[in-house]
Amino acid sequence: MNRNQIMASLENPSEAECSRINDRLQKCNIREVRADGSTVQNTSVRTRLQLLRAMREDETVLRFEYRYNGEWVPAYCA
Domain that holds residue 23: 3-74
Global confidence as pTM: 0.91
Q: Residue 64 above 90 pLDDT?
A: yes
Mean pLDDT over each residue of the chain, to the nearest integer: 96
Which H or E run contains 48?
helix 48-57
Q: How confident is the model at residue 52 (pLDDT cuts 50, 70, 90)?
A: very high
Report the number of distinct structural domains present in the chain. Answer: 1
Residues 15-51: tens digit of each pLDDT: 999 999 999 999 999 999 999 999 999 889 999 999 9
Per-residue pLDDT at 43: 87
